[in-house]
Amino acid sequence: MKKFTVILPVKNGGVLIKECIQSILSQSNKDFDLAILENCSTDGTREWLQSLNDEKIKIFPSDTPLTIEENWGRIKYIPKNKFITLIGHDDLLQADYLAEMNSLIEKCPDASLYQTHFRFINAEGNYIKQCRKMAEKYTQSEYLHAMLKDELDSTGTGYMMRSADYDKLGGIPSYPNLLFADHALWIQLTGLSYMAVSEKECFSYRLNQSTSKLSGASRYIDAFFCFLDFLERLKKKDKTTSNVISSAAPGFIKYYCTSLSHRLLKTPEKQRGGKTVDSFITACATKANILSPDNTFTPLRYFTIRLAHIVDSNLLTRNLYLLFRKMYSKPFYS
Characterize the bridge pairing of strands 195-206 and 92-93. antiparallel
Predicted local confidence at residue 334, as pLDDT = 35
> In this predicted model, what pLDDT tens digit does every residue of 252-278 receive, in sequence order?
999 999 999 999 998 988 999 999 999
Residues 139 and 34 in one domain: yes
Residue finishing a domain among 175, 210, 245: 210
Domain assignment present for residue 278? The answer is yes
pLDDT tens digits for range 59-77:
999 999 999 999 999 999 9
Output the pLDDT for position 209.
61
Q: What is the mean pLDDT of residues 33-47?
A: 97
pTM (whole model) above 0.95: no
Phi first, then psi, for residue 134 (nearest 5°) are -105, 160
**Minimal CA–CA distance to 190: which of 167, 169, 175?**
169
CATH at residue 77: 3.90.550.10
Last residue of a domain, one of 184, 210, 236: 210
- Which residues span the domain enclosing 182? 4-210
Mean residue pLDDT of the chain comes to 94
Q: How many CB atoms lie within 10 A of CB 194?
A: 19
What pLDDT does residue 333 have?
Answer: 40
Q: What is the mean pLDDT of residues 41-53?
A: 95
Measured CA to CA, the distance from residue 281 to residue 299 in angstroms comes to 7
pLDDT value for 315: 74
Question: Which among 323, 167, 194, 333 is positioned nearest to 258, based on CA atoms?
Answer: 333
Taking 70 as the threshold, does the pLDDT of residue 1 lie above it? Answer: yes
| Position 327 confidence tier, pLDDT thresholds 50, 70, 90 | low
Same domain, 269 and 172: no
Q: What is the share, in percent, of the chain residues with pLDDT greater than 70?
A: 94
